[in-house]
């Protein structure tokens, strides 16, 4: 599973934070790693340099073998929370998709 982290012009992702994110995402999605070929994580600050509540956005797009790409978005007060929320949404979506596939194959 390849993980690519992108950011908008309002945000600089440092090496340490990038490594921490990649490690955390790999760990959280490890049970799906055989099916996910690529993850693209897009981090952005919706209001640029202005301070605001819930203006950090994380969009995660998962490329899954044999399926159309799955994209989820989460907005939070900081990027760590935004990533965590997006990963939780992705896990729920993948559980649902793979559960349906399993149910169909058993019929």
DSSP-H helix ranges across 1-107: 15-28, 79-106
CA distance 35 to 37: 6
Sign of the alpha-carbon dihedral angle for 83, 89, 92, 96:
negative
pLDDT at 104: 55
Structure tokens at 35: 């099916």
pLDDT grade for 11, boundaries at 50, 70 and 90: confident
Q: What are 71's strand-pairing partners? A: 61
| pLDDT at residue 29 tops 80 | yes
Nearest C-alpha neighbor of 83 from the set 27, 21, 39: 21
Q: Give 48's pLDDT tier (boundaries 50, 70, 90).
A: low
Q: Is the pLDDT of residue 45 over 80?
A: yes
Q: How much is the pTM?
A: 0.84
Q: How confident is the model at residue 52 (pLDDT cuts 50, 70, 90)?
A: low
CA distance 91 to 95: 6
CATH of residue 87? 3.30.160.100
* Structural domains counted in the chain: 1
Average pLDDT over residues 32-59: 84
For residue 30, what are the domain limits?
2-106
Q: Look up residue 35 and give its DSSP letter.
A: T
- The per-residue pLDDT for 9 is 80
Question: 85-107: string of b/e by CB count within 10 Å (b at 16+)?
Answer: bbbebbeebbeebeeeeeeeeee
pLDDT single digits (tens) 61-93: 999 998 899 999 999 998 899 999 999 999 999
């Amino acid at each position: 599973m390849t993980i690519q982290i992108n950011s908008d012009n309002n945000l600089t992702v440092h090496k340490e934070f990038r490594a921490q994110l990649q490690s955390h995402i790999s760990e959280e999605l490890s049970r799906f790693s055989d099916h996910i070929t690529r993850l693209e994580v897009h981090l952005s600050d919706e209001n640029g340099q202005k301070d605001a509540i819930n203006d950090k956005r994380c969009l995660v797009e998962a490329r899954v073998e044999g399926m159309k790409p799955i994209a989820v978005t989460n907005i939070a007060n900081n990027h760590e929370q935004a990533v965590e929320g997006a990963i939780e949404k992705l896990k729920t979506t993948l559980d649902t998709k793979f559960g349906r596939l399993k149910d169909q194959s058993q019929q």
